[in-house]
Structure 1
Amino acid sequence: MSDVLLRPFRWDDVPAITAIYRHYVEETAITFDTEAPGEEAIAEKYAGLKRLGHPLIVAERAGRCIGYAYASFYRPRAAYRFTCEDSIYLDPAERGRGVGKMLLTELLEQSRAFGFKQMLAVITADTAGSIAIHEKFGFRRVGYYEAVGLKFDRWHDIVHLQLAL
């Protein structure tokens, strides 16, 4: 994995991030978005993350964005300000190569440095790989919600995992 560089988000990453996310919206139930946001919406979201100073990491190989991760407030109310939710997305061709592990390692480090005290992962229940990597990092299952998202004409369950930072 020495050919993968983890670095801060840049504005020229927006097209690649948009394309990666589009795949997951259109082809999977990993996200419950049903319409892929365009570059303008992604740029607006990331501007907000940058403004807040939240961790926002890009994985790059040979000058190309192959994945990204960020942590942001779990919920907007002030009492939740020390609790974050993580998000990690990879170019589908990069899955299973250790890039997600690299991103999660760095995301945990930056989230601690930011001052978050708890990290939550909200994962579609049939996404075994994502659940497994979180559990390898010490996340524990703290909740299970049945049939909360309807996508592709099927109800999906979600798992909540938590790690004290």
Structure 2
Amino acid sequence: MGTDVGAVITEKNASGASQCLVRSATPADIPYITAIYSRFVTTSTATSEMTAPAEPEMFRRWRAVLDRGLPYLVAELEGYVVGFCYASQFRPREGYRYTVEDSIYVRPDCIGHGVGRLLLSDLIGQCREKGCHSMVACILGVNPSSIALHTTLGFQQVGQLPDAAYKFGEWLHLLIMQRLL
């Protein structure tokens, strides 16, 4: 995946030469989304998924989000997709139709450079415009950067499920955060 994009964000944003663009994801982004997500599946506890899904499955998931009328976004910097996020219905029952759950993944070399904040801020705004009332973040395992990002954007911890998932030989807690839109 080319250059140290994290350095590009830091250096060029300070001079105003380069900006991270948040836009709707397209089918052409699926290989990059798949690569970013696959790394999280295989190396972290940020997701409970054990086997990285292939591009056709990631395309199906992208399509399912759009079919529900919800946003699926990517962050692009100098031609590179450096992160993605989307909203999905929190629970399948009709009574939950105004509550969405966010999912956000940023390339490791871009974490801490504002990509996640740009993505999640845009996602919050688009969900608000679509009439969503509440956004939930379900943060698995030890993930201080995700907790900090969500806290910065107004999410509050509303619950925790101990030993909610098992991955890499350990039990992981699930932190639940929420923000009213």
Give TM class, smaller chain: over 0.9
Q: 2:48 aligns with which of 29, 32, 36?
A: 32
Tell me the residue number matched to 1:96.
112
Shift, 1:135, TM fit: 1.1
1:104-123: CA deviation from partner (whole Å, max 9, x where unpaired): 11011001011110000000
Q: 2:144 aligns with which of 128, 132, 137?
A: 128
% identical aligned pairs = 38
Poorly superposed stretches of 4+, deviation over 4 Å? none
CA distance in 2, matches of 1:98, 1:51: 29
Alignment RMSD (CA, Å): 0.9
Tell me the residue number matched to 2:83.
67
Q: Which amino acid aligns with 1:148?
A: A
Tell me the residue number matched to 1:44.
60
The answer on whether the counterparts of 1:68 and 1:89 sit within 8 Å (CA) in structure 2 is: yes
Corresponding pairs, count: 165
Structure 1 length normalisation: TM-score?
0.97
Shift, 1:51, TM fit: 1.5
* 2:165 is the counterpart of 1:149: yes
Structure 2 length normalisation: TM-score?
0.89
1:93-135: CA deviation from partner (whole Å, max 9, x where unpaired): 1111110011111011001011110000000241111111111
Structure showing greater Rg: 2
Q: Secondary structure at the match of 1:130?
A: helix
Task: Specify every segment of 5 or more residues in structure 2 that has no aligned partner in the other structure, as ranges.
Answer: 1-12
